[in-house]
Amino acid sequence: MNTLFEPGTLLGGFRVEERLHAGGMGVLYRVSGPDLGFPLVMKVPRLGHGEPGESVITYEVEQTVLASLRGPHVPRFVAAGDLATQPYLVMEWIEGRSLKEWTGRGPLPVTEVARLGGAIATAVHAIHQQEAIHLDLKPSNVLIRPDGTAVLIDLGLAAHAHYPDLLAEELRHPIGSAPYISPEQVLGVRSDPRSDLFSLGVVMFELLTGQSLFRGPSASATIRNALDKEVPSMKDLNPEITPQVEQIVRRAVERDPERRYQSGSEMGYDLEYAIYHEGYGPTIVTLEKYMRGIFPGLFHPSSEPSHPPALCNPEGTTRSFPRN
């Protein structure tokens, strides 16, 4: 099936404007179509002879899960092409930056990572509340909007409680990205939302220390590390890390899911508290100010920072934090 289209090509009522990215799993295009009030992007998967067999499954999974989710933490689903003729997914184009842009900067300031982690924990909690699990949380699959909101993309490995798990039915090997995969995913378990919190902890470790927690010389070595490698002292790798933030990350990467955070709300709450304890403001507000500083081109000069959101603890009641 064709994946390369020239500008001006019409697909299902959408006009191809420009090619944005060509990767191993598919090609992204900016497209125009009905005026929906937001920009559009089209993902065309690589399917057919010579392509991995699971590409068909991940396309179907992403189409199903993305169409079922609502809210600001996932792209809005617009349309899908027919699998038998020309498959594609059209969704909201997210204006923002990939979290991967942060990973090459070495150890980042602790408060910056806590803000990012809190935003991602909120996004993870939002999809878990809708009975979906991402199961491929990594820097390249997280976008940060100009206002600091995290958006989770690339849902091809996701699971949803209301739909059959096609990947579990068809594949017999660990499914996930080796440096970030959870121990239970290695063992074939794809139904535990706490897997996403483990992956978030691994991402935060990398941002805080500048080092990958489990990456080994090969994919198989990396997967073994996820099962049994001891988590090193983060303070030794970055002396600026506070004990409170290190404790949060260590709890997130506990191998026993029962000893981890039990929800993204709980983890996000602790990250909020850690920032307040250090004398900083709400994560989403301070992260927006930070985004304005490093990516000024994303903002219109007349736009104003967002108002602080209400802060909620895991039980849903508001709480104010003292400043020391």
pLDDT band of 239, cuts 50, 70, 90: very high
Regarding whether 189 and 156 lie in a shared domain, the answer is yes
CB neighbour burial string for 187-213, b if at least 16 within 10 angstroms, e if fewer: eeebebbbbbbbbbbbbbbbbbbeebb
In 3-state terms, what secondary structure has residue 15? strand
- pLDDT tens, residue by residue, 92-123: 999 999 999 999 887 999 999 999 999 999 99
Of the pLDDT bands very low, low, confident and very high (cuts 50, 70, 90), residue 293 is low
78 with 196, same domain?
Answer: no
Q: Does residue 143 share a domain with residue 39?
A: no
Helix, strand, or coil (residue 259)? helix
Structure confidence by residue, pLDDT tens digits, 146-177: 999 999 999 999 999 999 999 988 887 888 89
Percentage, residues of the chain above pLDDT 70: 83
Calculate ∠ Cα 56-62-65, nearest 5°.
135
Q: Structurally, how many domains does the chain consist of?
A: 2
| pLDDT above 80: residue 39 | yes
Positive or negative, the CA dihedral 182, 121, 204, 63 is positive
* Residue 138 to residue 189: CA distance in whole angstroms: 18
In a domain, 3, yes or no: no
Residue 278 has pLDDT above 70, yes or no: no
279 has a pLDDT exceeding 60: no
pLDDT band at 65 (very low <50, low <70, confident <90, very high): very high
- What is the rounded average pLDDT for all residues in the chain? 87
Residue 7 within any structural domain of the chain: no
Same domain, 87 and 142: no
Beta strands 132-133 and 77-80, pairing class: unpaired
Q: Regarding predicted confidence, which is higher, 255 or 26?
A: 255
What digits encode the pLDDT tens for the residues 124-150? 999 999 999 999 999 999 999 999 999
Do both 153 and 33 map to the same domain?
no
Instruction: Determine, yes or no, domain membership for 193.
Output: yes
Residue 4 lies in a domain: no
Ranking 221-225, 229-233, 300-304 by mean pLDDT, the lowest is 300-304
The region, left, alpha or beta by phi > 0 then psi within -120 to 50, assigned to residue 155 is alpha
pLDDT value of residue 318: 32
Q: Which residue, among 194, 120, 97, 151, has the nearest Cα to 184 in the 3D structure?
A: 194
The pLDDT of residue 304 is: 44
Same domain, 223 and 287: yes
Q: Residues 74, 101: one domain?
A: no
User: What are the structure tokens assigned to 193, written together?
Assistant: 């939302």
Residue 282 clears pLDDT 80, i.e. is over it: no
Same domain, 201 and 54: no
- Chain Cα centroid distance, residue 77: 17
| Alpha-helix residue ranges (DSSP H) falling in the chain | 54-68, 100-103, 110-128, 166-170, 183-186, 194-209, 219-228, 234-237, 243-252, 264-277, 283-294
Task: Assess if residue 65 is contained within a domain.
Answer: yes
State the average pLDDT over residues 34-53: 86
Better-scored residue on pLDDT, 148 or 303 = 148
Tell me, what CATH number does 255's domain have? 1.10.510.10
Q: Is 60 helix (H, G, I), strand (E, B) or coil?
A: helix
Asked if residue 317 belongs to a domain, the reply is: no
Q: How are beta strands 97-98 and 132-133 bridged, if at all?
A: unpaired
Domain membership flag for residue 37? yes
What pLDDT score was predicted for residue 294?
64
Q: Six-digit token pair at 9?
A: 């090509």
- Same domain for 30 and 53, yes or no, is yes
63 with 208, same domain? Answer: no
Q: Does residue 284 register a pLDDT over 90?
A: no
Round to whole Å and give the CA distance between 28 and 242. Answer: 40
Which of 36, 61, 92 is the last residue in one of the domains?
92
The CATH number given to whatever domain includes residue 53 is 3.30.200.20
27 in any annotated domain = yes
pLDDT of residue 313: 41
- Residue range(s) defining the domain that contains residue 60: 15-92
- Confidence grade of residue 307 (pLDDT, cut at 50, 70, 90): very low
